[in-house]
């Protein structure tokens, strides 16, 4: 056998080997939704309460190819039309490059958009589309992706009380209030009400770190007796936001305020969930009445007296070490 014949046989064996390799590793479709592997048993759960009526969510569906040879997507079709879902796909047929393909011009993925629109308050049912391709498995040549509408109930969590602690006259006390949502869907806050007998409180819907002054309405803060104030605030699934209560007293007496948060898609908070904000209710506290002491107009040389009441207004004993004029 000549060297040319041997070389020819070797070349033929290499070609056959490559052909077998490609046949042995055919196209294999992989589906992801919003960056996560698609679960065929569960489908894609769509919570209609995650958007308000008229709003929409976009789901990113990506197709890739885990096989060796190219995957050809021939068609993408809805099982049935839906008023809540819209499908956006590129021109078809569409080829997705396989791992053994040498053509870098063939893209490695195909992106599909599914737009869910909450057209009305109550939305139910499910919707799906089918991907037709040359996948290696017969069950995957018509790959169905199912979207299931499943309402979730958000749950607003607020502390029962928020204690700013002891704040002296001329000082400023701040305390953060954490609002949480323990559910797997978005919570919507549509109003806030802040009330108190003292006008020295303020509420900032965010973090306020300036301990030299309390925020004002010009800073975007709420002050007592401002009534029920409409808001558009969302708390994402299993997450929290922080607000800040501030108190700048002109007296050492105990003070309190009430915060009511209205969340229409939480049955327990649709009529308002309340937290009480306290200040100067812990530790020793002195209250003097009257303050200041007024003697009024008196005749020169006459003597008069005014009763002064000293009261302990705290939760711990008050120790008076001296009284002087």
pLDDT category, 270, cuts 50, 70, 90?
very high
- Residue 104 CA to residue 119 CA, distance in Å, equals 43
Supply 197's token pair: 């007998």
Distance from C-alpha of 201 to C-alpha of 280, rounded to nearest angstrom = 12
- Greater confidence (238 vs 94) lies with 94
Give Rg (Cα) of the chain: 35
> Which of residues 282 and 281 earns the better pLDDT score?
281
Say if pTM beats, i.e. exceeds, 0.85: no
- The span from the first CA to the last CA of the chain, in angstroms, equals 126
Does residue 252 have a pLDDT over 90?
no
Chain segment 215-243, per-residue pLDDT in tens: 999 999 998 887 899 998 999 889 999 99
Close Cβ partners of 205 (under 8 Å, ≥ 6 residues apart): 192, 220, 221, 222, 231, 233, 243
For the sheet containing 239-247, what is the strand order?
A: 156-157, 173-181, 239-247, 201-204
Looking at per-residue pLDDT, the higher value among 309 and 142 belongs to: 142
Cα–chain center distance at 236: 2
* pLDDT per residue as tens digits for the range 148-172: 998 788 899 999 999 999 999 999 9
- Label residue 318 by pLDDT band (50, 70, 90): confident
pLDDT of residue 97: 96
What does the pLDDT read at residue 22? 43
The values of phi and psi at residue 252, to 5°, are -85, 0
Q: Which domains does the chain have, with CATH numbers?
A: 24-149 (2.60.40.10), 156-279 (2.60.40.10)
Tokens of 223: 């002050």
Q: How confident is the model at residue 19 (pLDDT cuts 50, 70, 90)?
A: very low
Q: What is the mean pLDDT of the chain?
A: 87
Question: What's the CA gap between 274 and 160, in Å, rounded?
Answer: 7
């Amino acid at each position: 056998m000549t060297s040319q014949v041997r070389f020819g046989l070797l070349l033929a064996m290499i070609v056959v080997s490559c052909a077998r390799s490609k046949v042995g590793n055919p196209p294999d479709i992989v589906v992801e939704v919003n960056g996560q592997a698609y679960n065929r048993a569960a489908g894609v759960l769509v919570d209609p309460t995650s958007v308000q009526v008229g709003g929409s969510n976009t789901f990113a569906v990506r197709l890739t190819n885990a096989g060796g040879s190219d995957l050809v997507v021939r068609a993408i079709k809805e099982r049935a039309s839906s008023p809540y879902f819209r499908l956006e796909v590129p021109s078809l047929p569409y080829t997705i490059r396989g791992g053994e393909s040498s053509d870098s011009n063939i893209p490695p993925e195909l992106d599909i958009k599914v737009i869910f629109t909450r057209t009305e308050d109550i939305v139910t049912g499910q919707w799906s589309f089918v991907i037709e391709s040359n996948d290696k498995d017969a069950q995957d040549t018509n790959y169905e992706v199912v979207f299931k509408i499943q309402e979730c109930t958000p749950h607003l969590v607020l502390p029962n009380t928020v204690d700013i602690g002891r704040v002296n006259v001329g000082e400023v006390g701040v305390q953060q209030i954490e609002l949480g949502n323990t559910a797997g869907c978005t919570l919507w806050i549509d109003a806030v009400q802040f009330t108190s007998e003292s006008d020295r409180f303020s509420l900032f819907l965010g973090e306020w770190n300036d301990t030299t002054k309390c925020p004002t309405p010009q800073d975007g803060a709420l002050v007592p007796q401002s009534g029920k104030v409409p808001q558009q605030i969302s708390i994402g699934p299993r997450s929290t936001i922080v607000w800040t209560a501030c108190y700048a007293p002109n007296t050492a007496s105990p003070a309190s305020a009430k915060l009511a948060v209205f969340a229409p898609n939480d049955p327990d908070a649709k009529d308002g969930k309340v937290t009480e904000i306290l200040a100067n209710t812990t530790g020793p506290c002195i209250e003097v009445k009257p303050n200041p002491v007024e003697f009024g107009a008196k005749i020169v040389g006459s003597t008069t007296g005014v009763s002064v009441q000293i009261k302990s207004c705290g939760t711990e004993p008050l120790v008076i070490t001296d009284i002087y004029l």
